[in-house]
Amino acid sequence: MRTIPATQRRAPALDIAVVGGGMVGAAAALALSRAGFSTALLEARPPSPWQPQDDVDLRVVGLAPSSIKLLDELDVWTSIRDARACPYAHMYVWDAENGAAIDFDAADEGRDQLGYIVENNLVQWMLWQALDAAGVQRLCPATVKDFETRTDRVMLELADGESVAVRLLVAADGGSSPLRERAGISTRGRDYTQRAVVAHVTTERAHAQACWQRFLPSGPLAFLPLADGRSSIVWSLPESEAQRVLALDDEAFAKEIGIASDFRLGRITATTPRAAFPLKLQLADTYQAERFVLLGDAAHVVHPLAGQGVNLGLRDVAELRDTLVAARDAGRDFASSNVLRRYARRRRSADTLDAYGFDALARIYAWQSAPWVAMRGLGVRVVDHLLPLKRRLGMHAAGL
């Protein structure tokens, strides 16, 4: 990392700079500013404005109760919910090979909903709309070219030649995080050699505000309910199969989706254009360095089969905020290594458990030999009948 001239180091330091203005980064900047820290958000490109007349974005997220709680604390949840969000109270999961099924019902857990399906860009846009009123300094467009850690601060050198001094640098700059690499933090994991094909489809039968997921030999296919009555599909496929499916015309694609879903919602009567993104498991070896922490995809990337990626990132945000506030209120340096290690230990432990749990599910459902398929079916049926265990799984997924 390049040495920054001493004359640039004397600028008063902000408390925190968050680099990366996606859902997790914007939520972090808003949460930390609302907690009383002077905060800047740095992002290369502003989000596209969300407009109610626009079609539903292809990228959607299933927000768990823990995420909704955080967004509500940030005073943005009501706006998101009222704009275009679909609650879901049921989740049905079944195995194409043995027919074993498990279902989750919000009523069994004493709740009205399991969560909400919301467009990624709607969440990001509402968070961005709240930044100015919360006192967040938005630096956009802005790209961090380099940074240098000093005894009491971090100096950020921006691509336009400007510099910013902060007491703590928060990297929320995505799975390929340049800041993580500059901090010397390595990652481990594996490439699934799969792509998730996404589209919105119209089905013959109503989705009934339920999520549906079928595990196929090629990978899981999920139907997520949208507020306009359609379903968002996420189909994990080997690379070659994903490319083939992407090249199909709409009629052929709709037919394949219908067959793959066992026509659980009837025929597919219409579809949007498709997109796809690669799948991988990636965990940072540590979430913390000197006056530096990782959040969201910069810290962890997980398989989408459980739909928990963004929820894990928002749990990072809540944990970081609470840890920094507790340290500050106790009169300690909130950006000290001891404080940051507390956040890093807690979140990396929780994220590792979830990430490898999702990875284990992906591996188990990839087993195709008859004995393993039979054992898998038996295991699912046992879990479905052990109500305390099933309830505990549901509460864990909800982040409660």
Q: 371-396 pLDDT, tens per residue?
A: 877 877 777 777 777 666 656 766 65
pLDDT beyond 50 at 185: yes
Q: What stretch of H or E contains 65?
A: helix 65-73
Q: Is the CB of residue 60 less than 8 Å from the CB of residue 224?
A: yes
pLDDT beyond 60 at 208: yes
What are the structure tokens assigned to 339, written together?
């404080």
pLDDT beyond 50 at 5: no
Q: Is the CB of residue 200 less than 8 Å from the CB of residue 56?
A: yes
Q: Is the CB of residue 139 less than 8 Å from the CB of residue 164?
A: yes
pLDDT band at 397 (very low <50, low <70, confident <90, very high): low
Q: pLDDT averaged over the chain?
A: 91
First and final C-alpha spacing in the chain = 41
Quote the CA–CA distance of 97 and 58 in Å, as a whole number: 29
Q: Is the CB of residue 203 less than 8 Å from the CB of residue 267?
A: yes
Question: In a 3-state reduction of DSSP, which class is residue 200?
Answer: strand
Q: What is the pLDDT of residues 83-116, one digit of tens each?
A: 999 999 999 999 998 888 888 898 887 889 999 9
pLDDT beyond 80 at 70: yes
CA separation, residue 377 to residues 40, 260, 298, 366, 368 (Å): 50, 19, 35, 13, 12
What per-residue confidence (pLDDT) applies to 7?
A: 39
Q: Is the CB of residue 342 less than 8 Å from the CB of residue 293?
A: no
Q: Is the CB of residue 346 less than 8 Å from the CB of residue 294?
A: no
Q: How much of the chain, in percent, has pLDDT values that exceed 70?
A: 92
Between vectors from CA 309 to CA 25 and to CA 36, what angle results, nearest 5°?
Answer: 30
pLDDT band at 399 (very low <50, low <70, confident <90, very high): low
* Edge-to-edge order in the sheet of strand 115-119: 60-63, 115-119, 85-88
What per-residue confidence (pLDDT) applies to 400?
A: 55
Q: What is the pLDDT of residues 278-332, one digit of tens each?
A: 999 999 999 999 999 999 999 999 988 767 889 999 999 999 999 999 999 999 9
> What structural domains does the chain harbor?
14-398 (3.50.50.60)
pTM, full prediction: 0.92
* Furthest-apart CA atoms within the chain: distance in Å: 70
